Chains A and B, each alone.
Chain A
Amino acid sequence: MSPLFFELLLNGLIIGALYGVVGMCFVLIYKASQVVNFAQGEFLLIGAWICWWLLTSWHMPFLWGFLISLAFMTLFGILVQLVVLRPLIGEPIISVIMVTIGLSIFFQALMKWMFGTFAQPFPPVFALSQVNVLGLHVQSAYLLSTAASLVIMVGFAWLFKYSRIGLAMRATAFSQQIASSLGISVRQMFALAWGISAAVSAVAGVVVGIVNGVSSALSYFGIKVFPAVILGGLDSIFGAVVGGLIIGILENLAQFLDSQYLNWGNLYEIVPFYVLIVILMIKPYGLFGTHEIERV
């Protein structure tokens, strides 16, 4: 196989890890509060802009700026849940989807107003901006993202399996009524889920910002995440990671096919959505999602 194939495969894995991180955040919100968050991309965007702003206007060292952004995003996520989503508990799903869509429109415009429309580069963070991995030049930031996604995945796994909070969240996801009857504050669980999701999205946002500069393009991660989580199963965090990796690899494989044989030009962008449709036809609950059994 040509070297391009392997390069694209490796690239796919790296990008897929990023999709996986965003997917995990999305699934966390869905699992805990049954909300489909169309504004996930905006969480990346806001996190990246806040970190950029701290680094450039306040000249903080990267670690401090990063940590403060994470703290800010946690609070932000909690605030969003409190103000916007709580009144909509119990409303039909279309309303919830529309609210998150409205949020995404609102925040995109707000970010453009506050920070302008130009893509802004991140100040240099790593001493070495790229390293050589198996012959492919990989940006250090992407290595950070791969490492981060592994850490986050392990962290989430531990959180849900072994900690009390995680157990409470799983209980809330299973049945809100039973959970609250057992003394779990469902509202606190919702807020917590949103806070964690926002903070982890900020990690992904900062990584992409370091590589590509911060711009409104980060919001598109929120759209790309749908094929990944549908493939993996909407309520499986592990599935989100697997889904993200698969979508990343698929995109790059499609690019390979397209450039070598088909020359249609657009497969890279469109393949995730074709895959999405196919999955919805064959396996609507994804690879690892729980099958909803409808009882009369």
Chain B
Amino acid sequence: MKLKTAFLFSATALFLAAPAFAQDIKIGHLADYSGATSDVGQPYGQGVEDAIAWVNKNGGVHGKQIISELNEYGYQVPRALAAFKKWTSSDHVVAIQGWGTADTEALVAMVTRDKIPYYSGSYSATLTDPTGKATSKSVRAAPFNFFYGPSYSDAARAMVQWAAEDWKAKGGQGKPIWVHMGANHPYPNSPKAAEEAYAKELGFEVLEPIVFALTPGDYTAQCLTLKQSGANYAYLGNTGGSNISLLKACQAAGVKVQFLGNVWGMDENAMKAAGTAANGVVFPLRTAVTWAGEAPGLATMREISKMSDPSGTAYRPVHYLAGVCTALFMKEAMDWADTHGGVTGVNIRDGMYQKKDWVPKGTEGVCNPSTWTPTDHRPTMRVDLYRAVVNGPTDAPVAELVKSGVIRLEKVATITLPRKTELLGW
């Protein structure tokens, strides 16, 4: 009798829960696995996918599974556009995990019109102003754009501040010299105005920017120019691939400059490829630790990594962790939305505003506390600066190199910028 009741009970429960199971949450996922930014797009995209798979495996969003439609668009805006149209017309997605500056900026107007939260891998400051009216320099309103991590501009400002302190600590005489290096494209140019303005404010002498392309190539000429200019601090605005070429060329040319990178400009794979040329480069991290560090949240990260690497031996670069964090923020916003009117685009956006100093559950010590408000989409003003340390030949796989200590990321400083409204949006 008891067995029968139990059976009846569970059958009814299942029957009642069935509609909930049938309701899945659809999102779109734009990734670059083959285009100009694929060297960093691959680990980030993998992180997002693995995180979503892990969420689904562990109950989804209150039982609902997240269906992620992956579209690999090779950093070509038309393909991203076609994917967006498909997602909004046929699939009715409620959120999008996006990627690059090109597609994010192209889709801002459309996601605003269609009210779909867009989580980008682009940290352009122009995406941080939801109202578009914060300062005179604000380019547009982006109420549905989110990203996890300091914006390019804020990260650059933090590095300017660190450089100023570093100059004083080194006992430098006179005005330190700052130069921005990067391709003449939206992504590398994103922080230039902010960075140069702040550098001037802190007493740097700012040189004319040195241009080098986003593609790997031979940059000896640029290195010679850099050497001759006498710059002390050089900001590298490009992704890892081209930065590697520049660093190697500058090492060969004997350039003695403190290089500073952006979040996409250096990672463990780039350190392996560049070898000792990458030694000493300072760049920001979006997470509090790297894969080789110690934090309670890394246990979750390792579980998530097993979704695509069951053996658990893969070394995940910094971009992978950032991708996971971004996906998990979205998931928790969906959790809130589900209990406050259903998982729709507008509710997910509101869900992003609910917590202050928010760390997704299970990622303590890895994902940094972030806060989004209706007037300010800068999640954090805190920038963790790390130095790349490479002290030997880098022939082995990355995992081995990290284990043997040939490649290391050591923390240099944590700079927390004041959350000023005048600095929002540019």
Direct contact of A and B (CB under 8 A): yes
B-binding residues in A (CB < 8 A): 2-4, 7-8, 11-12, 15, 56, 109, 112, 117-121, 123-124, 129-130, 136-139, 208, 211-213, 215-217, 220, 251-252, 255-256, 259, 263, 265-266, 268-269
Minimum distance in angstroms from B185 CB to a CB of chain A: 11
What are 26 residue pairs bridging A and B, where the CB atoms are less than 8 Å apart in the complex?
A4-B225, A7-B224, A8-B224, A15-B220, A112-B34, A117-B241, A119-B216, A119-B241, A119-B245, A121-B275, A124-B393, A130-B252, A137-B252, A137-B254, A211-B249, A212-B217, A212-B218, A213-B248, A217-B245, A251-B221, A255-B221, A265-B208, A265-B209, A266-B184, A268-B211, A268-B222
Minimum distance in angstroms from A115 CB to a CB of chain B: 12
- Check if B337 is an interface residue, CB within 8 A of chain A: no
Interface residues on B, range: 35 or more
* Docked pose: A259 CA to B249 CA in angstroms: 17
Which residues from chain B contact A211 at a C-beta distance below 8 Å? 218, 248-249, 252
- Check if B394 is an interface residue, CB within 8 A of chain A: yes
A-binding residues in B (CB < 8 A): 33-34, 38-39, 42, 184, 208-211, 213, 215-218, 220-222, 224-225, 227-229, 241-242, 244-245, 248-249, 252-254, 269, 272-275, 393-395
Q: Which of A112, A215, A259 contacts B216 (CB 8 A)?
A: A215
Known: A112-B34, A119-B245. A217 touches B217 (CB 8 A): yes
Contact: B244 with A213, CB < 8 Å? yes
Contact: B220 with A11, CB < 8 Å? yes
* Docked pose: A53 CA to B390 CA in angstroms: 24
Q: Which of B34, B184, B252 has the most CB of A within 10 A?
A: B252
Which residues from chain B contact A137 at a C-beta distance below 8 Å? 252-254
Which residues from chain B contact A123 at a C-beta distance below 8 Å? 395
Contact: B244 with A119, CB < 8 Å? yes
Contact: B225 with A269, CB < 8 Å? no
CB nearest neighbor in A for B255: A137
Which residues from chain A contact B33 at a C-beta distance below 8 Å? 117
Which residues from chain A contact B215 at a C-beta distance below 8 Å? 216-217, 220
Minimum distance in angstroms from A11 CB to a CB of chain B: 5
Q: Which of A11, A109, A121, A130 contacts B221 (CB 8 A)?
A: A11
Contact: A8 with B221, CB < 8 Å? yes
Contact: A121 with B272, CB < 8 Å? yes
Contact: A2 with B225, CB < 8 Å? no
Q: Which of B216, B248, B272, B393 has the most CB of A within 10 A?
A: B216
Which residues from chain A contact B227 at a C-beta distance below 8 Å? 4
Q: Which of A7, A213, A269 contacts B213 (CB 8 A)?
A: A269
Which residues from chain A contact B254 at a C-beta distance below 8 Å? 137
Contact: B216 with A212, CB < 8 Å? yes
Contact: B269 with A118, CB < 8 Å? yes
Minimum distance in angstroms from B309 CB to a CB of chain A: 16
Which residues from chain B contact A266 at a C-beta distance below 8 Å? 184, 211
* Docked pose: A115 CA to B365 CA in angstroms: 35
Contact: B252 with A139, CB < 8 Å? yes
Which residues from chain A contact B245 at a C-beta distance below 8 Å? 119, 212-213, 217
* Docked pose: A130 CA to B225 CA in angstroms: 19
Contact: B209 with A118, CB < 8 Å? no
Minimum distance in angstroms from A176 CB to a CB of chain B: 38
* Docked pose: A22 CA to B184 CA in angstroms: 27
Which residues from chain A contact B275 at a C-beta distance below 8 Å? 121
Minimum distance in angstroms from B221 CB to a CB of chain A: 4
Minimum distance in angstroms from B44 CB to a CB of chain A: 13
Which residues from chain B contact A56 at a C-beta distance below 8 Å? 395
* Docked pose: A3 CA to B273 CA in angstroms: 31
CB nearest neighbor in A for B253: A137
Minimum distance in angstroms from A168 CB to a CB of chain B: 37
Apart from A117-B34, A117-B42, A213-B274, what are 9 other A-B pairs with CB-CB below 8 Å?
A112-B38, A120-B273, A121-B395, A137-B253, A139-B252, A212-B217, A212-B218, A266-B211, A268-B222
* Docked pose: A123 CA to B220 CA in angstroms: 21
Which residues from chain B contact A120 at a C-beta distance below 8 Å? 273
Contact: A252 with B244, CB < 8 Å? no
* Docked pose: A248 CA to B213 CA in angstroms: 17
Contact: A259 with B272, CB < 8 Å? no
* Docked pose: A256 CA to B33 CA in angstroms: 36
* Docked pose: A11 CA to B254 CA in angstroms: 14
CB nearest neighbor in B for A11: B220
Contact: A4 with B228, CB < 8 Å? yes
Contact: B218 with A15, CB < 8 Å? yes
Minimum distance in angstroms from B217 CB to a CB of chain A: 5
Contact: B211 with A121, CB < 8 Å? no
* Docked pose: A112 CA to B245 CA in angstroms: 18
Which residues from chain A contact B248 at a C-beta distance below 8 Å? 211-213
Minimum distance in angstroms from B31 CB to a CB of chain A: 12
Which residues from chain A contact B228 at a C-beta distance below 8 Å? 2-4, 7, 259
Which residues from chain B contact A213 at a C-beta distance below 8 Å? 216, 244-245, 248, 273-274
Which residues from chain A contact B252 at a C-beta distance below 8 Å? 129-130, 137-139, 211
Q: Which of B209, B216, B221, B272 contacts A216 (CB 8 A)?
A: B216
Which residues from chain A contact B209 at a C-beta distance below 8 Å? 265
* Docked pose: A130 CA to B276 CA in angstroms: 14
Which residues from chain A contact B34 at a C-beta distance below 8 Å? 109, 112, 117
Q: Which of B228, B229, B393 has the most CB of A within 10 A?
A: B228
Which residues from chain A contact B220 at a C-beta distance below 8 Å? 11, 15
Which residues from chain A contact B42 at a C-beta distance below 8 Å? 117
Contact: B394 with A119, CB < 8 Å? no
Contact: B395 with A259, CB < 8 Å? no
CB nearest neighbor in A for B395: A123
Which residues from chain B contact A124 at a C-beta distance below 8 Å? 393
